Amino acid sequence: MTLICPDCSFRNSEVSFGGTIQERGERITLAFTSEEDLNRQVVKSDSATILIPSIEFEIPSTTQRGKISTVEGVLKTAIESMEQSQPDRLRLG
C-alpha cells in the first residue's frame, strides 16, 4: 500500500518487515508473455535478489529497499541507479 500525503503529495511505498528472515529463502518465478505483465504488482523485501537469467541481469538485495511496486517499477529503479553511477564506473575503467 502506498501512503500519499494529502498536503504535499509525498509518496512512500516502502515495506518494513517486522519478523526474522527465513534461513532459506523462497524462489518465485514469473513468466512474461506480454508487455502488460510488467504491470504485475510485487512486494520486494529488503533481502530479495532479483535475477533475469535471459539477459544475465541481477538486482542484488542491497540495492533496493523493501517496497510495493510493479515489475516495471523495480526495473526502472535499477536502471536509474545504474545511470546515476555510470560516471563512477567509467572513471574506474
**Cα separation, 41 vs 74, whole angstroms:** 10
Q: What global pTM score does this model have? A: 0.68
Which domains does the chain show, CATH number per domain? 38-93 (2.60.120.1040)
**Cα separation, 59 vs 73, whole angstroms:** 13
Cβ(46)–Cβ(80) below 8 Å: no
Phi, psi of 55 (to 5 degrees): -120, 15
Tell me the HSE value of 31 on the side-chain side, using a 13 A CA sphere. 1
How do residues 50-78 score in pLDDT, each as one tens digit? 999 988 999 998 888 888 899 999 999 99
**Cα separation, 35 vs 32, whole angstroms:** 8
pLDDT at 65: 86
